[in-house]
Amino acid sequence: MATGAEAAPLAAVPCSYYFGAGPAVLPPEVIAEIRAELPAFRGSGVSILELGHRSPEFRTVMRETEGDLRELMAIPPDYAVLCMQGGATLQFAMAPLNLGDHGAYLVTGQWSAKAWREAERVADAQAVWDGTADGYTRVPERHEWRVPHAAGYLHYTVNETIAGVEFHAAPASAGVPLAADMTSMILSRPVKVSEHALIYASAQKNLGIAGITVVILNPAALRTPPRGTPSLLDYRVSLEAESLPHTPPVFAWYVLGKMLKWTRSQGGVGAMAARNQRKAELLYAVLDASDFYLNAVDKSSRSWMNVPFRLHDQKLEALFLQEAAATGLKNLAGHRSSGGMRASIYNAMPEAGVATLAEFMRDFARRYG
């Protein structure tokens, strides 16, 4: 037990840091720009909330957004970039409808399990590796799965937002098209787009706010969807309509554009990766320093974006969260399905925020350890 003198918590910090998993923190510069531009958008005479999606001003937003994303991710010219609605969850169904039957799934956490289950609703799909029984603590090693020849594609979730399990290299797919959910790690570090037939990511982590989903695909990998597939679930319809088969979420698209420009201003994906690695290492070092904190994920599969942890003495967790919030460290509660804590440290979380959290954790462990 701590003594009275040791039990005084750290003084509240002047600014607070928000560790929510998504919707997630946005850079203050982006919020400030949105605020300044809100009354009238780029000389259009209306606010971005009112702007028509066929207006020349919005066309410019679309063009710049696509150009910036292509540059940031080095997207090959023959790949298409789409902006869609329905979140990553709708992509769980669109992948099997458009890439062909017999999807093979690497199940490394709750989101890839959901992707697999959704695929099973609309097509044949199978898990070729499933970490459910082990409680999602690692990604598989190459020799642990086999992709059937007949598989339409191999699907993986690069970063599992709840389990905190991340692939640090694309899995080998034995020539079968690779499909990736990059929702919670896109732009956090470089990825080879050309290794993938399909990449999707909903925006509310590193790309802005909920309501828009980025899809990057190789048109040559598309199959004709089964009869009865609604037109909005057919990628070719969005390709032909240049992402405007219906009214898009103009504001979310605009915020996406701002986030991409902000990412460029920070030095791009390489600079983000260096910063994200430093942030993650700071937190894992605290977790590894003693058995006061626990993180079950294998070191080789640790996420740079979402760091889940528990206290060895789970009775202290409510107090941890309470004191953290009072110190200005907000939304550290783990996912409702797993409990405990989770620090989401996306691109917009400054290193100072992670350093403050690390210091709070060390201090809490000293006082209650």
Which parts of this chain interact with ligand PMP (CB under 6 A)?
A: 22, 87-89, 111, 157, 161, 181, 183-184, 202
What is the 8-class DSSP label of residue 224?
P
CB of 202 to ligand PMP, least distance (A): 3
Could you give the residue numbers annotated as active site?
A: 111, 181, 205
Q: CB count, 10 Å around CB of 249?
A: 19
Burial class of residue 37, CB neighbours in 10 A (0-12, 13-18, 19+): middle
Based on CB atoms, which residue is closest to ligand PMP, 161 or 263? 161
The span from the CA of 66 to the CA of 216, in Å, is: 10
Minimum Å gap between C-beta 205 and ligand PMP is 7
- Closest residue by beta carbon to ligand PMP: 87
Cβ-contact 341, 361 below 8 angstroms: no
Please compute, for residue 38, the number of CA atoms within 13 A of its CA located in the half-sphere on the CB side.
Answer: 6
Give yes or no for a contact between 347 and 272, defined as CB atoms under 8 angstroms apart. yes
- 263, 69 contact by CB (below 8 A): no
Residue 201 pairs in a beta bridge with 214
Residue nearer to ligand PMP on the CB measure, 21 or 51: 21
3-state class (DSSP) for residue 362: helix
List Cβ neighbours of 90 (8 Å cut-off, separation of 6 or more): 84, 213, 233
**Alpha-helix runs per DSSP H in 83-143:** 87-99, 110-122
Q: Which of 345, 327, 217 is nearest to 276 (CA)?
A: 345
User: In whole angstroms, how close is the CB of 118 to ligand PMP at the nearest point?
Assistant: 10
